[in-house]
Chains A and B, each alone.
Chain A
Amino acid sequence: MPVKVLTGNHAVAEAVRLSRVKVIAAYPITPQTTIMEKLSEMADKGVLDARVLRVESEHSALAAAYAAASAGARAFTATSSHGLLYMHEVVWWAAGSRIPLVMAVVTRAIGPPWNIHVDHQDIMDQRDTGWIIGIAQENQEVLDMTIQAFRISEDPRVYLPVMIGLDGFILSHTSAPVDIPSQDEVDAWLPPRRQPYVITPESKIVMGNISDDDEHFMMRYSMHVAMNEAKRVIKEVDESYGKTFGRSYGGLLECYKCEDADYAILLAGSWAGDAKTAVEMLRSEGYKVGVIRIRFIRPWPREELLEIASRLKGIIVFDRAVSMGSTGILLGEVSSTLYSTKISIRGTIAGLTGVDVGPEAFYTQAKEFIEKVEQQGHVYEPLHWLLPPRYRRRGKPGKIERAEVVM
């Protein structure tokens, strides 16, 4: 298995090639575009036997990929930020149709103003749509998770589409070593495509025709049943992948240095690496801290989190997306999961709109939280804003401020 230095986006493309995807449809958007460019190049060179469709919008991109999947092709699309919002209607329809499909989402802030940098607002906005949603930490995991996504999506216990999140620029445009499995190995591990039905001119099936409200209700319920089954399938697939390729990630979540931990930093995405570095700093000072890295926000790892939390005094959640008027998205999930426990929780909104958060910030925030819990016994602070460094000193804004536009 050769190790190559690849960007996160090229890792996605390699995974799509190895998964023998037959139809790819996408519309360019930074920072997704290089996934599509690479796949087009592969198809052009003949190393990828797929139809690459250039469509006129993201709405059409997913409609085309999902139609091809309905007709029996292993299909793929990729997008980001505004593109994902534009396809949001079809995101619901693809999941509701129960057709296996995989999409890469290169996470990026949403405007206004225009901003191409990372946050999780776009992918978190999809959390109720019925897609299985994974978020990777490293380029290697991006490749592994994308290959796994096809197997999860096409499992007859699941039959739901899967979205793979990778952080814009921080993974998508960063080169790092990636171990690329051989085609033979992937062929042996990834079963032929399975799906619940195929729509062809001969099949005489109509998807989405008007139905009875009770029937529609039961379709929603059946998607939820499939999501619950997906929890087991994701774990099985992760373990099976580990046996074949030597890399397992822990299923729905990864618990880093949790064995003896009293506290944990909980988050999703590439900045978990920075949090792990902060854990080393904290541990060198005697603070027993671990990292709970959420790998799948849907299905939500409720049972795993409850089990881990039973051994902890406190969890500090870092959210790269906020539900304005409420709290961070992960904080809401964590709070409802741990409602019946006595654990201390703090929710921190940070790293929105590409604002950099490094090990120092995690170290300082976690330490402050731990000290507070140790002094007060129990803390529940659902909404704590970690403002950008130059705004931390100024304090809370009090009057109308006009943004400084930087060209």
Chain B
Amino acid sequence: MQQPIIEEPRTYFKAPLSTPQPGSAGVTGAWRVKKPVVDPDKCTGCQICWLYCPEDTIIILDTGKVTVEYEYCKGCGICAEVCPFNAIKMVDEGGA
């Protein structure tokens, strides 16, 4: 398809646009009550947690296994819920 011309508006213009980037909503890691902890022995690298994480805070390691980006992880627990191998545990913030 022929691409349209992207031309700057010629009047005062404000559209509801944003560019998603890490941390654009602030350091959401501070919101956690519990944090997910991955047991690398149990993790098989299926990456289902990566698919489900609503905040894109599952990091895939070179081995294919995963770890968590704690700066932005909100601690929602979805990763622990969906992990088929019980490799992710939710741990109290103070305790672990």
Contact = CB atoms under 8 A, between A and B. Distances in A.
B63 interface: no
A226 B10 CA distance: 9
Given A156-B9, A157-B9, A204-B20, A194 B14 contact: no
A209 B25 CA distance: 11
A195 B4 contact: yes
Nearest to A223: B14
A209 B14 contact: no
Contacts, number: 86
Contact of B9 (A159, A205, A221): A159
A301 interface: no
A216 B16 contact: yes
- Give the residue among B1, B9, B20 with the most A Cβ atoms within 10 A: B9
Interface in B1-32: 1-20
B13 to A, nearest CB: 5
Main secondary structure of the interface of A (DSSP, over half): loop
Interface bin, chain B: 20 to 34
A196 interface: yes
Interface residues of A, number: 33
Contacts of A406: none
B24 to A, nearest CB: 9
Nearest to B2: A192
B14 A215 contact: yes
A201 to B, nearest CB: 13
Contacts of A156: 7-10
A97 B15 contact: yes
Contacts of A159: 9, 13
15 contacts: A156-B8, A157-B11, A194-B4, A195-B6, A195-B7, A204-B20, A205-B18, A206-B17, A208-B16, A211-B16, A211-B18, A219-B15, A222-B13, A225-B12, A229-B11
Contact of B15 (A98, A192, A204): A98
A374 B10 CA distance: 48
